[in-house]
């Protein structure tokens, strides 16, 4: 149940960021749900493989920033996978990852 709520909230964040950031474009809420699901799956697989070595190198002191950057990379990867989801630049992906992290901590 928690996964579904997180998925729907992240989809809402993605859709909401299209109104805040002009460099983010998403077609509709259905696309946002699918993109949020793919970002979650990418974060759980590839993101984990990237985070573990980076956390070891930084001795875990920068784990929040490592998680933030890896999530932004996964958002950009999802951008490449979907035609109906577009982010121009890396900074908007970092901002979306930051909003997702803050909202995730509040949930």
What pLDDT score was predicted for residue 76? 95
What pLDDT score was predicted for residue 55? 87
Q: Are 23 and 92 in contact (CB under 8 A)?
A: yes
What pLDDT score was predicted for residue 42? 93
pLDDT digit string, tens, across residues 58-88? 888 888 999 999 999 999 999 999 998 999 9
**What whole-number distance in Å separates Cα of residue 81 and Cα of residue 84?**
9
HEC string of 23-44 equals CEEECCHHHHHHHHHHHHHHHH
CA quadruple 58, 74, 36, 4: dihedral positive or negative?
negative
Total domains in the fold of the chain:
1
pLDDT digit string, tens, across residues 19-52? 999 999 998 899 999 999 999 999 999 989 998 9
Q: Domain range spanning residue 46?
A: 2-106
């Amino acid at each position: 149940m928690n996964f579904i709520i997180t998925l729907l909230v992240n989809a809402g964040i993605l859709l909401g960021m299209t109104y805040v950031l002009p460099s983010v474009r998403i077609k509709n809420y259905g696309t946002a749900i699918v993109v949020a699901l793919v970002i979650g799956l990418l974060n759980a697989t590839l993101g984990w493989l990237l985070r573990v070595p980076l956390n070891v190198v930084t001795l875990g002191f920068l784990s929040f920033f490592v998680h933030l950057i890896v999530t932004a990379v996964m958002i950009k990867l999802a951008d490449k996978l979907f035609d109906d989801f577009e982010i121009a630049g890396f900074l908007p992906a970092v901002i979306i990852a930051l909003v997702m992290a803050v909202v995730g901590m509040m949930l």
